[in-house]
Amino acid sequence: MTSSYIQSLLGQGENSAVEFKSDAVRPESLAKEIVAFSNTNGGEILIGVEDDGFISGVVEKDEEWVSNVVRNNVIPAVNASIEKVRYQDKDILYLHIPKGKDKPYQTNQNQFFIRVGSTNRVATQQELLRLFQDSGMFHFDLTGVERTAETLLNKTKVDQYFERFGLRFDAEAPDQQKTLLQNADILRDDGRLTVAGALCFAINPARYLPQSTISFAHFLGNEITEALVDRQVITGTLDMMIDAAFAVLKNNLLQPSNIVETKRIDGVLYSDKVFRELITNACAHRDYSISGSGIRIFLFDNRIEFRSPGRLPNTLNLDKIRLGGSYARNPVIVSYLQYMGYIDKLGRGLPLVIREARERHKSVDFAEIGEEFVVTLER
């Protein structure tokens, strides 16, 4: 750890990834900071620095004291890096807290914290639910949807789904039909449809899950403030939305063309499988527990953006997904879409997009912006 790096942290001040603590910090206070960083996106803590950035140094605290807090006051223990640094003739303890792999983390006083800006706060029930979802201990697509029941299912779609397994759903007795629906995780024991069941088989999923939409916008220019050429909100079951969003995007893409030996040859920006992959990926892996927003597709003159609610789950990061790393936030939805022929679960989708963009000398960018995962294709 260099003095110049410490200086850069001090220059930033406290923010979503940096925290200052004095030498008088108590174990429970430090544990809150470690838990909050671990439950969010990781961060760095400087002990021996006051809130205003003044270097007060450490006298009583050392690496062993911090290690004891990490081991005894945080559940589960985190893999923090701890180092004593000499800066401006004073000792500072530097802690690097990685983004947690075993969320949710809590203090030994059973408190769950997350980092919001430069402060920590107790996780709400919805935020805690997402932490459990990220850990793989809980899957939101298996939860029940309020005000739903078996009668809301599109029985034709259900029949077609079970036909893939050699079953005649429509020929079964009502009690056997209910058992099949429960075993397939379409219906819960309490009679409600699961989130996955509603999204794939309900007559009108958006009525009960208003976040389950795809918004498309075509802008005349390169900024979101430009005039709109087209705007649509797409609803329906996931397979219907994937097909509809693909058709809308294709209709709005002006394909270049060339004259070759008196024949007009349409140019191809990207193959259809690239667009279908990115739309399907958004529908399969978005965070459906985020109720305030849906999937968004923005078409600009110079790029196409695919915006999906929810940051990358569990241990995934931007580097891993480029190499085909995958994690099913919604394993039931993924299974349904696999059997419907929309995905293969082999993690080949995004590497395919990258390879094709490279072959066409175009750039593709992956980013986490706020609570969205964004894929940007250069036009």
Ranges of the chain whose pLDDT falls below 70 = 135-137, 255-268, 314-315, 345-347
Distant-in-sequence, close-in-space partners of 239: CB < 8 Å, separation ≥ 6: 200, 337, 340, 342
Alpha helices in 253-307 (DSSP H): 272-285
What is the phi/psi pair of residue 133, to 5°?
-65, -40
Query: What's residue 347's pLDDT?
Result: 60
Give the pLDDT confidence of 300-313 residue by residue, as tens digits: 999 999 999 998 87
CB 77 within 8 A of CB 70: yes
Chain region(s) in the chain for CATH 3.30.950.30? 3-123
Neighbouring CB atoms inside 10 A of 180's CB total 17
User: Which of 156, 340, 106 is CA-nearest to residue 243?
Assistant: 340
Give the pLDDT confidence of 188-223 residue by residue, as tens digits: 999 999 999 999 999 999 999 999 999 999 999 999
Chain region(s) in the chain for CATH 3.30.565.60? 214-378
Rounded distance, CA 216 to CA 294, Å? Answer: 11
- Helix then strand count (H, E) for the chain reads 13, 16
CB 83 within 8 A of CB 63: yes
What is the fold, at CATH topology level, of the domain defined by 214-378?
Heat Shock Protein 90 (3.30.565)
In CATH, which superfamily holds the domain spanning 3-123? Schlafen, AAA domain (3.30.950.30)
Query: What's residue 315's pLDDT?
Result: 67
Query: What's residue 265's pLDDT?
Result: 43
Amino acid residing at 224: I
Query: What's residue 257's pLDDT?
Result: 47
pTM over 0.75: no
Query: What's residue 256's pLDDT?
Result: 52
User: Which of 279, 210, 271, 217 is CA-nearest to residue 246?
Assistant: 279
Rounded distance, CA 245 to CA 296, Å? Answer: 10
